[in-house]
Amino acid sequence: MSQLARDTGITREGLYKVLSADGNPSFATVMKVAKAFGVRFQAVAD
């Protein structure tokens, strides 16, 4: 969690809060966490 906090620029305490069962992370937070894990999202028109 400490490394994730460094990679995202979000405090460790903040990550625990937003990623908890009662958390409500913003889209920006979700994207920062995904980027830190090397996950990329792509929107494709059908």
pLDDT tens sequence across 1-46: 999 999 999 999 999 999 999 999 999 999 999 999 999 999 999 8
Q: In 1-46, where does DSSP find H-type helix?
A: 2-8, 12-18, 27-36
Q: Per the structure block, which two tokens stand in for 14?
A: 């903040």
Indicate the domain borders of the chain.
2-36
Alpha-carbon span 34 to 38, nearest angstrom = 6
Q: Of how many residues is the chain composed?
A: 46
| Percent of the chain's residues with pLDDT above 90 | 98
Q: Per the structure block, which two tokens stand in for 34?
A: 């995904």
- Global pTM reads 0.82
Contact status, residue 16 vs residue 1, Cβ threshold 8 Å: yes
